[in-house]
Amino acid sequence: MQDTSLAFLRSLLDAPGPSGFETGPARTWRDEAKRVADSVSQDVSGNSYATVKGSGDGPAIMFAGHIDEIGLMVVHIDDEGYLWFDPIGGWDEQVFVGQRVVLLGRNGPVRGVLGKKAIHLMDKDDREKTTKAKDLWIDIGATSKAEAAARVRVGDAGVIDTAILDMPNGRIVSRSLDNRIGAFVVLEALRRLAKDRPKGTVTAVATSQEEIAYTGGGARTSATALAPTVAIVVDVTHATDTPGVEKKRHGDVRLGGGPVLARGAATHPVVVELLVEAAEAENIPYAFQASPRFTATDADAIFTTTRGVATGLVSVPNRYMHSPNEMVALDDLDRAAQLLAAFARRVSKDTDWTAR
């Protein structure tokens, strides 16, 4: 991966941006997009757009990766200055115990720790109970409600306070890999296409609120605005090469094994086959993943937008998803971007999107 891209990735991952509060990473994404795209914009839903114009009369293509991450939100400040919170998105609540947090306060970042009664002070029965978010609190060092309220308001959001970590074999660890790397990959694909343009115009979108997208989130609003003929969603999927994961149930997905192509719900068969052709022509390793009911990604919303959009889902293998220490392989990010660019160059006005 080029130094410019790696520096961009680091900045993107380290910017706190839970669902509904994606302003920081979205701004970082747009700043980098201005170096690549013909035009860059944002909308009222929090989506960011970067467009590279096509060299011919090919169809409109959308690449989408959501830029939000799971987090937490302050719901109450008590008289002693402790903050009580609810999760944003799908947490394993055991992960919260003993973590540091950074809250997006109106006057800047506010750091704190997640508090829990020490094990020495617990009764035997309490020691054996599963920890719930409602049993935890955030301690920002305040001594009163007034002091805490001067720094934090109810409704302020935050994330677990961790930073990117480099690992051997070209692997990185970070929070927000789900799915800040999707937003990264779609812009990296655009970077490639700006140097060797496809026939159709391509718009990369960093979508908002996927982790809480019960009604489609930013994917639905951005796809409605763009009305693309075809769309590729980039997200993460579970790497199943860790202890205790049953491949017969969850498939065989390996870190460093290349992008994963979903088949089934919300994925168009013509798009899938074109992705396969592009991967094989570019010598990109890939795997399949079955999605018999839904994909639980932005593809579900985009596929059924307006008149319907021919949609594909390209996923990056990810270990320890929805934790502060997710892990991916940098090679998989490069390969996913390469695949998207190759796909876009294979699409023309004559491409028949009707499954026959």
**Looking at residue 244, what is its pLDDT?**
92
**Looking at residue 37, what is its pLDDT?**
98
Query: Could you give the residue numbers annotated as active site?
Result: 210
Confidence of residue 193 (pLDDT cuts 50, 70, 90): very high
In a domain, 209, yes or no: yes
Structural domain of 90: 72-160
Domain co-membership, 60 together with 135: no
**Looking at residue 21, what is its pLDDT?**
97
CA distance readout (Å), 223 to 14, 39, 114, 116, 126: 27, 17, 38, 43, 48
In a domain, 282, yes or no: yes
Domain co-membership, 54 together with 86: no
pLDDT for residue 125 is more than 90: no
Q: CATH number for the domain including 141?
A: 2.40.30.40
Domain co-membership, 77 together with 216: no
Which of 160, 191, 225 lies at the terminal end of a domain, its last residue?
Answer: 160
In a domain, 165, yes or no: no
Describe the strand order of the beta sheet including 48-52 as a list of residue ranges. Answer: 39-42, 48-52, 202-207, 61-66, 230-238, 310-318, 260-264, 287-291
In a domain, 192, yes or no: yes
In a domain, 354, yes or no: no
Higher pLDDT, 174 or 251: 174
Rounded mean pLDDT of 301-311?
94
**Which of 309, 258, 264, 314 minimizes the C-alpha distance to 286?**
258
pLDDT for residue 121 is more than 90: no
Structure-block tokens of residue 324: 């502060």
Rounded mean pLDDT of 134-142?
96
In a domain, 181, yes or no: yes
Using alpha carbons only, give the angle 70, 75, 78 rounded to the nearest 5 degrees.
Answer: 135
Question: What is the count of structural domains for the chain?
Answer: 2
pLDDT for residue 236 is more than 90: yes
Domain co-membership, 298 together with 230: yes
Render pLDDT for 317-334 as a digit per residue (tens, 0 to 9). Answer: 999 999 999 999 999 999
Domain co-membership, 148 together with 78: yes
pLDDT for residue 127 is more than 80: no
Domain co-membership, 116 together with 260: no
**Looking at residue 1, what is its pLDDT?**
77
Domain co-membership, 46 together with 77: no
Domain co-membership, 19 together with 87: no
- Determine which helix (DSSP H) or strand (DSSP E) holds 61, and give its type and residue range: strand 61-66
Radius of gyration of the chain, Cα coordinates, nearest whole angstrom: 21
Domain co-membership, 267 together with 281: yes
Rounded mean pLDDT of 234-255?
93
**Looking at residue 56, what is its pLDDT?**
85
Q: CATH number for the domain including 29?
A: 3.40.630.10
- Residues 31 and 35: their CA atoms lie apart, in Å, by 7
Rounded-to-10 torsion of CA 315, 317, 320, 321: -10
Render pLDDT for 85-94 as a digit per residue (tens, 0 to 9). Answer: 999 999 989 9
**Looking at residue 118, what is its pLDDT?**
76
In a domain, 356, yes or no: no
**Looking at residue 116, what is its pLDDT?**
84
pLDDT for residue 268 is more than 90: yes
Render pLDDT for 109-119 as a digit per residue (tens, 0 to 9). Answer: 999 999 987 77
In a domain, 247, yes or no: yes
Q: What integer best gives the mean pLDDT of the chain? A: 95
The percentage of residues in the chain with a pLDDT greater than 70, rounded to a whole number, is 100
pLDDT for residue 274 is more than 80: yes
Domain co-membership, 138 together with 238: no
Which of 160, 192, 221 lies at the terminal end of a domain, its last residue?
Answer: 160
Domain co-membership, 62 together with 104: no
Domain co-membership, 131 together with 198: no
Query: What DSSP string runs through 166-200?
Result: EETTTEEEES-HHHHHHHHHHHHHHHHHHHS--SS
Is 103 in contact with 157 (CB distance < 8 Å)?
yes
